[in-house]
Amino acid sequence: MRKHHSFNFMSSFFSNKVVAITGGTEGIGKALVDILIKEGAKVATCARNHDKIYKLQMQYSNVLLHAVVCDISKEQDCRRFIDSTIETFGGIDILINNAGVSMHALVNDLDVDVIRKVMDINFYGSVYCTKFALHSLLERKGIIVGVSSIAGYRGLPGRSGYSASKFALQGWLESLKTELLEKQVHVMWVCPGFTTSNIRNAALNEEGKAQGASPMDEDDMMSAAECAEHIANAIEKKKRTLVLTFTGKRTVFMQKFFPALADKFAYKFFFKDGKLVK
């Protein structure tokens, strides 16, 4: 678990670093904002919901928190978020591409537009923010983080668009990492496994609307706060990748060495009597 430096911010890796994080009003994003502010970072975040942004600003009215309303599926919104962050703090040291949306529908039942929506947020949102922040990150020899998923290693049934977006994100970040290998900008991605957050409640159904309830048992999952601590530690240690939870690690291992068996396990986990139940 993370050691907090509440009495001496100067000893913290994040002290005075400018950290821009998308989707910082709930779930893992909010938990990361909480940790980063405690550790003395200068935090900028964005989210779509005006009320949630306002609530976050009220919670941290005693610190300079740059929080803006932004739809990261829109290129100009991302430009505004990144440019205003650089204007406020002078640059960006760490960019955490965290904002994302999931989906829950079989390919046979869904409107293709659902996949487009998920790609626009999860993949293109990360591309836009990274591209606009890259000049500053190169200047400061910064860190780029993608919050991915087990679905970026293994295609999950009922989540085809989500898996596609995370495979795309990891492939894109790996390409970028290689391009920047000698530029001293660190690129990494983290896969939380199944973590308690609002992502499944907000997951898009076959019509592209929020499903409103999670099909998973949230009680057995790692908390967003614990997950954020692991992510903060991985950033500090500049890990290449981080896969969280035993189930997550097992899934990645099975997929790598026994993919046909992983197909059967995934089917058994998500389906019952031929119906998608998770």
Q: Quick one: the chain helix, strand, coil %, rounded to 5?
A: 45, 15, 40
Give the active site residue among 54, 124, 162, 267: 162
Residue with tokens 């058994």, as numbered in its chain: 268
- Report the C-alpha gap between 187 and 240 in whole angstroms: 7
Residue 267, classified by CB atoms within 10 Å of its CB into exposed (0-12), middle (13-18) or buried (19+), is exposed
- Report the C-alpha gap between 198 and 269 in whole angstroms: 21
Maximum Cα–Cα distance for the chain, whole Å?
57
Determine contact, residues 26/52, Cβ cutoff 8 Å.
yes
Q: Is 124 marked active-site?
A: no
Tell me which residue of 27, 93, 25, 79 sits closest to 55, measured CA to CA: 25
Give the residue numbers annotated as catalytic, written as ranges. 162
